[in-house]
Structure formats: structure tokens, C-alpha cells
Structure 1
Amino acid sequence: MRGRAHVAALGLLLAASPAAAAGFVDPLDQPAGPSALAARRPLLSVARAGERLVAVGERGLAVFSDDGGARWTQAAVPVSEDLTAVRFASPRLGWAVGHGGVVLATEDGGARWERRLDGRGLARLLDAWARDGAGRIAPAALAQARDLAARGPDQPLLDVWMDQAGREGFAVGAFGLALATGDGGRSWTPCLDRIENPRALHLHALLEARGTLYLAGEQGLLLRLDRAAGRFRAVAIPYGGSLFGLASVGRALLAFGLRGTVLRSVDGGPWQAVEAGVEATLAGGTALPDGRLALAAVSGELLVSADGGATFERVSARGAVLAPAFAVAPAGDGALAVAGAEGVRVVALPRPREAP
């Protein structure tokens, strides 16, 4: 213990030295470094791009697999900021967001990524929006934009969503940060005034379910896009804790988060709590091609529902050591791609039980 403390203190002194400062390279200017173990490093999000699987995570790492997760190839990424979410509108067209206000885009299914926005440009964008919006935009939204701009490049984005055409979309993040695009992410506009979030709570997850776009955040914040008004309006739910994800299957929509919390609404009806059977925070969820729904916990536990999220069954990774899981995506052939603290792996799920 004492030896480790001594090494840690020495490391802090070295990091504060002029030599260390001179050698610092901003992660926004440093492409992700090559790593033979990229698929085993912490990865925070995973998605399907047609038949391909794509995962992103710490220090700009992005990997893809064309054989169901048997082999992974590292992608070319122009930054080394942590990437928090990845989303595809088609097998080739996708987006990723992350810390440092980073928005990336790919047009080849995730093999190569290009910068669309970063925290430096975002801070300028927010500042200009606040100045130009005086007299037009609500004072509270302008003040929020100025506060965000004052943070400089440190602007964590936590999720991104695009429509099927790859044109209209949103990116959301910490402290109520919200951006909109109408050109596939080539340009972005702050949309803080279009979101009912007066306390500037963190915005964690976006999901379109049956033609309606939902947005989940901390302290029980759940919003639904009113397309006619162009605004995200608050949805009343019986929960005040943080929500980290959304999932939809059939007629059911689920919101999930802290301490194994799962809330469920059917056909837009009242929200009810569901017993998930775990106490750990639920961080990821997805619908499966066979009609089931899967959730992942930061404890590494995986849950599967065959009745639209009304009940859940815990499944094992067939002997694998449980590691914190952050996101899941269908991997084909009854399997689940799981991104987490030990990289991305593909888990074979038990086959659905036949109806009696």
C-alpha cells in the first residue's frame, strides 16, 4: 500500500512538471492509438451496422466485426477522447459521440470515422447561439448555453440518434446539453429551448419507439418529442432516480436505470414498475430479432424477457466471468453482443421457450 502511494505521488509530480506539460497532446488532436487488444479494452457502446457489429469506447477506440464477433478489427478514429455511444441509420452510415464534445461520422460501416464536431467548435456554437438568440429565445435557455460555453471543450455527449434517412437527428449529453441536425450531422444547432429540462439535468439516452422519439435522463427525467410543436415534453413517471437507457419491443416501451429499476408502458399507457431481479444499475438494453428483449447490468448480469418486458429471467454467459456491462446489441443467431469493462464479447443466449 505504501509503495503504491509513493508511486502514485511521484506520478502526480511528474505529470505536473514542465516536461510533462510540454509533452501533452490534446485528445481532440490525437488519433486513437493502435492496439492489438482494442476489442478487450473498456468499450461503452455497441451497435449493428447491417450484418456488422461496431463497438466504441475509451480513448477513441472503435472496433468492428464481420463474423459475428469472432474477430475484431480496429477502426481509424481521428480523436482519442472516450466515445460513449454509436448509432447506425444504415449498414454504412453511422455516428458516434463522446467526451470533448466529439461527434464522429462514418460512411463505410464504421471502418473509418471523420470528425463532424468537437468541444472547441461546440463552445463557440453555444456562445454564438446565446448571443444571437437574445430577445428570441427564453432567457433560461440562453443562460444555460452561456454556462455550457464557459466550460470550454469539456462537453460530454452521451447519446446520438438519427432518423432512418440519416438526416434529422439529435445529440444529447451532460448538464442538459442538446443539439439538433437536419443534414446528417454535418452541422449542428443547440436546441436547449426545445427541451423541458429547467434544471439542466444530464440527458442519457434517445430511442424511437413506434414513431415517437423518447429522451431519458437523471432524476426521473423522461421526455417525448412532440413533433407538431418541435419540443421534447415531460412524461410523468412514478420514479425519481436516474434513467440510463430505453428499450422497446412490440407494444411495450421500457425505461431503466439505477438499482435495477425498470419501468414499463404499453401502448402509451401508464408507467408501472417491473421487478427485474437485480439490484445493480441497468445500463443497456435492446430488442432481439426473435421478439425478446435483453438488458445488461453494470454487475455483468444479463436479463432477458420473452413477454415484452413484463418479467425477466437472468441468463449466464455460459461460464464466462461476469464483467461490468454497459451496452448490448443483437449479434444474430440468438446471440447478444455485450460491450463493457473488458471489451466486447458475444454471448449465446438460451433459445426461447416454446409456448405450452
Structure 2
Amino acid sequence: MTKIKWFLLAALASAITVPFARPAIAAEFADVLDTPAVRSELAVQSMMTGLTRAGERLIAVGQRGHILYSDDRGQHWQQAQVPVSSDLVAVHFPTSQKGWAVGHDGVVLHSSDAGQTWSRQLDGREVGPILLNYYQHQLDSHPDDSDLQARVNEAQRMVEDGADKPFLDVWFENERVGYIVGAFNLIFRTDDGGQRWIPLMERTDNPGALNLYALRPVGDELYVVGEQGLVMKQDRTSGRFKAMPMPYSGSFFGVTGKPGAALVFGLRGNIYRSTDGGSNWKKIDVGLPLSITSSTITADGRIVLVSQAGHVLVSTDDGFSFQLQPNTSLAPVAAVQVTSGGSLVLAGTRGLRQLPLE
């Protein structure tokens, strides 16, 4: 079974009880990539896994292609029109109008109206052929390159496997230049707003094809984190993502920080901080053995982290230390976002809920 970002969602799903078992009913197969998300008044209570802001608007994504948006700081939500019912994992808006969402089945969605309607730009049925054509073309020019031959072979396997590889995060520098990352070292870049996606798998220091869970900039530096302590930083000159030496070999699920202070976080409450561009990392002890799953930064510069159980950690010193915020209504959390009013919105197994930020 593929080890992916559902590291968290598998645990979260275990908290959901199934009220009754339904008998198996023969039905015509409907591909989730060709089935629009079902509109439901209960969508706000379903599992949500990604959050972002589009200007003042909040955008949330989750299971079965559900995408919701709120214009009153998370008090009320409306459901967007989505052309797929694949589980969605992450969402990002570089502008108030244009944004992208990614998830299972290799799906990449785009919105140009602040998240009200979405179109499909890419899905897993296309990922394998794109990789195969790209690396086969390179191999034709360098027939003796064993690394390229290996990439062609792997691309051929992806074609045969079909649409089963998820994308796990998305980040756009502006409305044209962006990146998506996912399972087994999947990483692509676009320079035209998603009309064309260019593979970058040969530009990563990731020979084991470890899963890539997240990417985000800290200042002018773009980081990618993943399995087995993998932390990479993009070299702006070569475009290569170079591995950083790390003192921890467990998975990292996210990256955040401010210019001069980068933080990566992940399994078992592990948080590491670097003040020298990733050359050296120091562990930040927060006293929680639970995985840190998401982050956000407030307008006044506070760094906020959340655990898989819903603990909220706040730093007022650029990540040098964190304080645990009182929160009596703990529940599994996959994503957090600060609202324009300064409160938090949490996404998880119980859908979306607000939380004051002290």
C-alpha cells in the first residue's frame, strides 16, 4: 500500500465510526475523475484536509472532491462546483482570484473566480504519458544515459498503473509559475498557469523516490519535505532541489517560517529550525509526542502549528520556542489557516470549525 500523506488521514479516519454496513449492490462503475462532486448541506461536516486564503476569502478542500469557501471568516460556508469526486489534499491561491487544488488520482484543479468554480487541468491518466514522453525524448538524445533509461522504465510502469498516484501539495509563486509534488518523488513545474506541466524528477536529490509531502517558500528559498527526514532546498541557479543534512530520519509533513528562520515539522512532534538557510538544524522541543500536521502565520508574525489531535502551538519569537494554547475541544486536525480577523479555522475529521487565537 502506498505510503502517502494519508499518514494522518488514516489515523483521522479511525476516529470516524460507521453507523451501519450496507449490502453490496452491483452498479455501473463511475470513474471519480469523470464524476462531479456531489453537492451536500453536510459537506462542511465531512473530512476536510486543506485550507488557504484567497484574499479575504477562505477556501477548504477535502474528501470526495468537496471544496468550500467562506466570506465571513469561516462562520458560513458555500460549496463550489467541482468536476471530480477524487479526494483532495491541498490548495493554494497566489492571488485573490486564481488558485489550484491537488489530490488523489493525480488530479490538479484550477479556479479563476476565487474558488467558486473549478476546472480540471491534469489527472493521473495523463501523468504517466507526460513523464514517458518527456524522458523518452531526452533518452533519444542521450541513448547511453542509464539514469534516463531508468526514468523511462518507471514512467512506463506509471502508464500501466493508471491514475493511482496522488499529488500531496501545491504552491504557486504567482498566477503563472507553480509547483506540485506527490508520491514517489513526483514533482512538476508550470510556467503558464498549468496549461503545461514539466517533470522535475531528475532535479531532486531523492534517489530512493521518497514521497514528497509539502513544499513552501521561506523568504526567497523554496523547500520540499518528505519521508525519512528528507528536506530539500531549491538552488535558484541550477533549479535543482538539493538535500539538506538532517539530524532526524522520520517523515516531515510541512515547512514554514520567516526570512532568516525556517522550520520543518512532522512525526511525533518533531520540529527543527534553521537560521542559516538549511545548513544546520536545531530541534525545538514542544513536549508533544503527536505529529505536527499544519501551520499558518498571523498578520502580526506569530507562527502557529497544529498537531494531529488538534493542539495549537504559537510562537512569538520566529519559531525559537512555542507555547501550547488552551483548547478544550480537541479533535483531529489536518490543516489550519488564520482568518483576516485573526482567529483560526481548523480542518479535520469533523469538518471545519473556528478557534479563537489568544
Is TM-score (shorter-chain normalized) higher than 0.5?
A: yes
Partner of 1:243: 252
Secondary structure in 2 matching 1:79? coil
Partner of 2:96: 91
Q: How does 1:48-59 map to 2 (within 5 A)?
A: 48-59=53-64
1:279 is aligned, of 289, 293, 299, to 289
Partner of 1:340: 348
Residue 108 (str. 1) matches residue 113 (str. 2): yes
Report the Cα offset of residue 212 of structure 1.
1.1
Give, in whole Å, the separation in 1 of the partners of 2:282 and 2:153: 36
User: Greater RCO between the two (CA within 8 Å, min separation 6)?
Assistant: 2
Instruction: Supply the RMSD in Å over aligned alpha carbons.
Output: 1.8
Partner of 1:224: 233
Partner of 1:233: 242
Report the Cα offset of residue 37 of structure 1.
1.5
Partner of 1:255: 264
Aligned length in residues: 335
Partner of 1:214: 223
**Counterpart residue identity of residue 162, structure 1:** F
**Counterpart residue identity of residue 68, structure 2:** V
Give, in whole Å, the separation in 2 of the partners of 1:127 and 1:150: 11
2:108–2:121 Cα contact (<8 Å) kept: yes
Q: Deviations over 1:233-279 (max 9, x none)?
A: 11111110000001113421100000000000114252100012211
Partner of 2:5: none
1:130–1:146 Cα contact (<8 Å) kept: no
**Counterpart residue identity of residue 74, structure 1:** Q
Report the Cα offset of residue 340 of structure 1.
1.0
- Runs of 4+ in structure 1 displaced over 6 angstroms? none
2:50 is aligned, of 36, 45, 52, to 45
- Compare 119-128 and 280-289 and name the one that shifted more: 119-128
Secondary structure in 1 matching 2:339? strand
Partner of 1:170: 179
Give, in whole Å, the separation in 1 of the partners of 2:154 and 2:335: 30
2:272–2:283 Cα contact (<8 Å) kept: yes
Report the Cα offset of residue 98 of structure 1.
0.5
Partner of 1:354: none
Give, in whole Å, the separation in 2 of the partners of 1:259 and 1:271: 17
**Counterpart residue identity of residue 339, structure 2:** A
Give, in whole Å, the separation in 1 of the partners of 2:184 and 2:259: 32
Give, in whole Å, the separation in 1 of the partners of 2:101 and 2:121: 10
- Compare 86-95 and 341-350 and name the one that shifted more: 341-350
Partner of 1:293: 303
Q: Which runs of 5+ in 2 are unaligned?
A: 1-16
1:249–1:292 Cα contact (<8 Å) kept: no
Give, in whole Å, the separation in 1 of the partners of 2:307 and 2:230: 20
Give, in whole Å, the separation in 2 of the partners of 1:45 and 1:267: 30
Secondary structure in 1 matching 2:53? strand
Q: Deviations over 1:61-93 (max 9, x none)?
A: 000000111110001100000000000110001
Give, in whole Å, the separation in 2 of the partners of 1:86 and 1:112: 14
Partner of 2:324: 314
Report the Cα offset of residue 146 of structure 1.
3.1
TM-score by length of 1: 0.90
Q: Which runs of 5+ in 1 are unaligned?
A: 351-356
Q: Deviations over 1:26-75 (max 9, x none)?
A: 10010000110211110001001000000000000000000111110001
Partner of 2:134: 129
| % identical equivalent positions | 43
Give, in whole Å, the separation in 2 of the partners of 1:332 and 1:346: 13
Secondary structure in 2 matching 1:129? helix
Give, in whole Å, the separation in 2 of the partners of 1:180 and 1:142: 19
- Compare 147-156 and 252-261 and name the one that shifted more: 147-156
